[in-house]
Amino acid sequence: MEDATFIYLFFPAGVQRIIATGSTSYVGIIDQDTVLKYPHEQHDQRGLKVEAAILGVLGSHPRIIKLKGWDKEGLRLEYARQAAEAVAYAHTKDVLHCDIRLGNLLLDKSFDIKLCDFQGIYRTVRGVRIVERGYSSQTFF
């Protein structure tokens, strides 16, 4: 397995727990209003630099996540609390959504977020998969 890349979980200072991961970065809770987006590989911040530049161009807008700061650890971002609460709740029930994206976050009449399209994985307490639909490999519009 010479070509294998191993990603080791780590927690920068202040990160209480990881709430999400993507193809190149983790998102960890700092406090009730802030998350830290940081790279899987500690010294590879190329993707974060691009995101910080784009957020800088966009500036302040009520519907765009706020960049609160950028340091050697990663990007400090405003916490998208409602979406994160929905995912955290699903995880307490041993449900993995597996397709969290804008199209699966709906708004109710009070403009509160509702997570939908549960076709992921459900596991027992012992980790046995009870329901597993598969994955979404492509999105068609």
Q: Is 73 exposed, middle or buried (0-12, 13-18, 19+ CB in 10 A)?
A: buried
Paired tokens of 16: 């209480």
Catalytic residue among 3, 31, 94, 99: 99
33 in catalytic set: no
- Beta-carbon count within 10 A of 49 CB: 11
* Cα–Cα distance for residue pair 120/96, rounded to 1 Å: 6
Catalytic center residues: 99
